[in-house]
Amino acid sequence: MSNIAHILAGDVGGTKVLLRLAAVQNGRCEVVHEQRFDSADFTDFEVLLAVFLQDAPMLSAACFGVPGPVHGNVAKLTNLPWFVDGLRISQRFQIPQVLLVNDFAAIGHGIGTLASDDLAVLQAGQPLAGAARAVLGAGTGLGVGFVFVCEQGDMVVPTEGGNVDFAPNDALEIELLVYLQSRFGHVCVERVVSGPGLANIYAFMCERGQELATLLNSEDAPAAVAEAAINGTDAMAEQALALFLHCYGAYAGNLALLSLAHGGVYVAGGIATKLLAQLQGGEFMRGFLSKGRYRGLLETIPVYVVKETKVGLLGAQQLAMRIVAA
């Protein structure tokens, strides 16, 4: 009798969904099939799942990292009009155990699977074994999580840290806050540190400089702003990207202080890999270290960019493997 168990792992995002079917045997995991879907092409998650699972074998467990808080194994996604229900998925697709976790909880579990080659070092610091780690990543939104070590292994704490207040640090950032308040009312940090946040900063810079915000007419405005900034073809885009990176680093520094993340701060997400050279350019770390008398402490904290774009999928896979091993 075969002791192979098939599991399903998913990394659900506002822009894309990655799904992986894998076979687990004797603690080893082998990928059977993996596929990327554009989130906007589907009215809900179960329709997407039905496409992926058309010819799949019977599954023993599934785990999905989803953007937003999870309550009772149910999630209403933050940047998608989807309602994901673990029990309903279990019943519809005959999967005995289905687990939903926050997407940055999945990334937190995936961090431990990474090799040194999967990371780019922004600051070596003085890493301490067993110390807390902070994970954040800008994309369609801004995800945040923490990883603490306990006797049972890593304890990953998901958060809605992208929705805390944006905290400006100088006159320009205060101007940005006032501008965003006029548009949105309450201004969370995600209005600044995210793909849409970069577009918001660009719109602010154009209004401030009395320039036309032509790049906002692009099909993918954040990507257009980033590309123009990198290529040096739009002065407002260059200023916007510099401010974005500084605010991103400042918020990462806040998380480092909140958790005393001597195990490292890990910057994940699609924007991080696309802007790796810019993150290494210095503006991010200037924002990170700009904490007055606590600069010295922050200089001891390692800061990494996660180059492995599938870290959330790897974390969901780890959790699905734990389910079948239990």
pLDDT of residue 1: 37
Establish whether domains 5-109+310-325 and 115-307 are of one fold: no
* Mean confidence (pLDDT) of the chain: 95
Q: pLDDT-derived band of residue 77, with 50, 70 and 90 as boundaries? A: confident
Mean pLDDT (whole number) for 124-147: 94
User: 160-189, pLDDT tens digit by residue?
Assistant: 899 999 999 999 999 999 999 999 999 999
Nearest to 99 by CA among 6, 7, 3: 7
pLDDT of residue 2: 58
Q: Which tokens sit at 167?
A: 């905290």
pLDDT of residue 122: 98
Q: Where are the domains of the chain?
A: 5-109+310-325, 115-307
* Fold for the domain defined by 5-109+310-325: Nucleotidyltransferase; domain 5 (3.30.420)
* CATH no. of 115-307: 3.40.367.20
Please state whether the predicted TM-score (pTM) of the whole model is above 0.75: yes
Calculate what percentage of the chain has a pLDDT beyond 70: 99
Pairing of strands 264-267, 303-306: parallel
* Spatial contact of 183 and 197, defined as CB atoms under 8 Å apart: no
User: 232-281, pLDDT tens digit by residue?
Assistant: 999 999 999 999 999 999 999 999 999 999 999 999 988 999 999 999 99
Alpha helices in the chain (DSSP H): 45-52, 86-93, 103-111, 171-184, 195-208, 221-231, 235-259, 270-274, 276-279, 283-289, 295-298, 311-325
CB proximity list for 151: less than 8 A, separation 6 or greater: none
